[in-house]
Amino acid sequence: MIEVVEQINSVERRVGSRTFDAGEARTVVITRTYDSALEDVWDACSNPERIPRWFLPVSGELRAGGRYQLEGNAGGRVERCDPPRGFDATWEFAGHVSWIELRLSEAGSGRTRFELSHIAPTADEHWAQFGPGAVGVGWELALAGLARHLASGAPLDPTAAAAWTVSEEGREFVRLSSRRWCHAAIEGGADRAWARAAAERTTRFYTGDVA
């Protein structure tokens, strides 16, 4: 449980908006600092042989203009790549299109600041139902896996990871993360009642519980 609290407290969460030529979009920004060098974090996030060690198997071309596919999850197009500082890509899943932007920067000797923005159209039905926690909780689970991988170098055990997610410790992680995203949404100007109801739906989606 101590590790769960530490992982939750290591993350900064912001919810906001951004204006594009096509209109307004909502942004979910997750930030944390890793005790690993910039080049190592970049490699963990861009090397197709290494990504499955903490996230999911990936296929395709991980370069600007290339298309990728995460096994059993989203795919998309890499729109921009600036090694070792980050990349931009579309995030295409279940008929919906959103965008992700990764930014890496040095945070002192041997440390790296990781900032991921997930951007969705304001008319997104998934957002209306679940709010920022829909993607926020999922990314936090992934970044906890990245933290373990960077610290040990060991690959993720998919069976153990799946078992942990449905354990009481994993469920508590989801509950705490969902509540924090609720607070971030309210701080970003969202209606309190909507944010709390969306967080409850997000928690139920992941655990079957209520927030």
Residues 6+ apart with CB under 8 A from 46: 62, 81, 83, 87
Residue 209: inside a domain: no
Residue 1 pLDDT greater than 60, yes or no: no
Residue 151 pLDDT greater than 70, yes or no: yes
Which region, left, alpha or beta, applies to residue 94 given φ > 0 means left and ψ of -120 to 50 means alpha? left
Which domain covers residue 54, as residue numbers? Answer: 2-204
Domain count, the chain: 1
Nearest to 84 by CA among 129, 32, 46: 46
> What is the CATH classification number for the domain harbouring 105?
3.30.530.20
Encode pLDDT of 19-60 as tens digits.
Answer: 877 678 999 999 999 999 999 999 999 999 999 999 999 999
Residue 73: inside a domain: yes
- 3-class state of residue 179 by DSSP: helix
Q: What is the pLDDT of residue 196?
A: 97
Q: What is the pLDDT of residue 208?
A: 79
Q: What is the pLDDT of residue 20?
A: 78
Residue 210: inside a domain: no
Residue 142: inside a domain: yes
